[in-house]
Amino acid sequence: MARIAILPGDGIGLEVTREAVRVLEAATRVWGLDLELVHWDLGADRFLETGVTVTDEEFDALANDHDAILLGALGDPRVPGNEHARDILLGLRFRLDLYVNWRPAELLLPQLGALRDVEGRAIRLDVFRENTEGVYVNLGGRFKAGTPDEIAIQEDVNSWKGVERIIRAAFEFARDRGRGRVTMVDKANAMPAAGALWRRAFEAVGSEFGEIRRDTMYVDAMAMDLVRRPEEYEVLVTGNLFGDILSDLAAEITGGLGMAPSANLHPGRHALYEPVHGSAPDIAGKGIANPMGAIACAGLVLDQVGCREGAEAVDAAIRTALEREVTTPDLGGVATTEEVGAWIAATLDDSQPTESTDG
């Protein structure tokens, strides 16, 4: 039996997670999975009612009593400081040591991406973003805050251990999935201390994977090249900040934020899946959020619990929904969030499993 914690969160997180759950329930029926979905109410509503973001006991339960976490999104204009999102999401990333942030982005139909002339260009990017260090550790402080003499220091933390393991995860992924190239993205010309450590680790780990081509790019050139010729690249590995930015760019050139799933992983220990997008307060409650990124995360959950066939069926159903234009307005369609989710779940229900999977 596998237990999955469901954390819808805030805004459209609630709406898209409902559809991801619908798809997981369909897969459970079709493939006879032993999957328990445990619903959690962590988010802005609870924080505003109780003043509690997440307790130590809840962290322990999420870490130890569940096989994976499926998160919607966190962020609510009623909590301008975003304390709850920081405590819950960054808390989970840091406390569970989820050092891999894998963000796959694939252009499934040429007209979905933001670039023109992409017909016949196979765009599939896998961004490996370091998820526990960099500038996101919030080390630093403000001096003479609020005065004209204010100084703000935000440190960039790069440990050998942290850098080596994310680079290794990227190469292992490339080897396991038959990808031929890993590109490391940094800013070693302007940030030479961090750059030297990253490049030393990249050479050390990369030399163990001689069959995989390796190269490095400065982040500014990478941003330009991802727009110019994204089909040239395969696996990108980079730090927390650059990975955050480049993965949004990768998402946009392959269909937009609503399409993009992501996995926060400590391989072999913990997994948290979430769509790349946020809580989108501008469209929350309108029923038009694209649930495909969240549903793709449901596919990743199925893969993790050993139901490869279900995971492939979810990917195939998403592709078919796109081809038949069962899409939300961000992709030019007229379907609601619920209609897209129900369509994909019904497509799964119609699947004929070739094998029974014991989840």
If one asks whether residue 243 binds ligand NAD (CB under 6 A), the answer comes out as no
Give the up-direction half-sphere exposure of residue 240: CA atoms within 13 A in the CB hemisphere: 21
Among 49, 282, 354, 355, binds ligand NAD (CB under 6 A): 282
One DSSP character per residue, 283-314 reads TTTTT----HHHHHHHHHHHHHTT-HHHHHHH
If one asks whether residue 289 binds ligand NAD (CB under 6 A), the answer comes out as yes
123 contacts 107 by C-beta, under 8 angstroms: yes
Nearer to ligand NAD, 89 or 302 (CB): 89
Q: By CB under 6 A, how many residues form the interface with ligand NAD?
A: 21
- Is 282 designated active site? no
**Distance from C-alpha of 227 to C-alpha of 248, rounded to nearest angstrom:** 12
For 342, counting Cβ atoms within 10 Å of its Cβ (0-12 exposed, 13-18 middle, 19+ buried), the class is middle
Among 30, 44, 62, 73, binds ligand NAD (CB under 6 A): 73
**Minimum CB distance to ligand NAD, residue 314 (Å):** 17
Least Cα distance to 155 among 129, 130, 137 occurs for: 137
The backbone torsions φ and ψ at residue 126, rounded to the nearest 5 degrees and listed phi first, read: -120, 105
**Minimum CB distance to ligand NAD, residue 212 (Å):** 30
**Distance from C-alpha of 159 to C-alpha of 167, rounded to nearest angstrom:** 12
If one asks whether residue 82 binds ligand NAD (CB under 6 A), the answer comes out as yes
**Minimum CB distance to ligand NAD, residue 73 (Å):** 4
If one asks whether residue 274 binds ligand NAD (CB under 6 A), the answer comes out as yes
340 contacts 287 by C-beta, under 8 angstroms: no
Q: Which stretch binds ligand NAD (CB under 6 A): 46-54, 68-76, 138-146, 196-204?
A: 68-76
Nearer to ligand NAD, 109 or 191 (CB): 109
If one asks whether residue 318 binds ligand NAD (CB under 6 A), the answer comes out as no
- Is 273 designated active site? no
If one asks whether residue 19 binds ligand NAD (CB under 6 A), the answer comes out as no
- Is 248 designated active site? yes
If one asks whether residue 12 binds ligand NAD (CB under 6 A), the answer comes out as yes
If one asks whether residue 104 binds ligand NAD (CB under 6 A), the answer comes out as no
**Distance from C-alpha of 202 to C-alpha of 317, rounded to nearest angstrom:** 37
**Minimum CB distance to ligand NAD, residue 196 (Å):** 31
Annotated catalytic residue within 220, 349, 350, 358: 220
**Minimum CB distance to ligand NAD, residue 254 (Å):** 14
If one asks whether residue 89 binds ligand NAD (CB under 6 A), the answer comes out as yes
Nearer to ligand NAD, 89 or 185 (CB): 89
* H or E stretch covering 103: strand 100-106
Q: Is 223 helix (H, G, I), strand (E, B) or coil?
A: helix
Q: Which stretch binds ligand NAD (CB under 6 A): 44-52, 71-79, 147-155, 302-310?
A: 71-79
Q: Which stretch binds ligand NAD (CB under 6 A): 70-78, 110-118, 127-135, 200-208?
A: 70-78
Give Cβ neighbours of residue 237 (< 8 Å, ≥ 6 apart).
Answer: 128, 166, 167, 170, 182, 183, 184, 185, 202
If one asks whether residue 330 binds ligand NAD (CB under 6 A), the answer comes out as yes
280 contacts 12 by C-beta, under 8 angstroms: yes
- Is 220 designated active site? yes
**Distance from C-alpha of 236 to C-alpha of 218, rounded to nearest angstrom:** 12
State the angle between helix axes of 12-31 and 308-323 in degrees (0 to 180), rounded to the nearest 10: 120
266 contacts 96 by C-beta, under 8 angstroms: yes
Chain positions contacting ligand NAD, by CB under 6 A:
12, 16, 73-75, 82, 85, 89, 257-258, 274, 277-283, 289-290, 330
Which residues are known to be catalytic?
A: 136, 187, 220, 244, 248
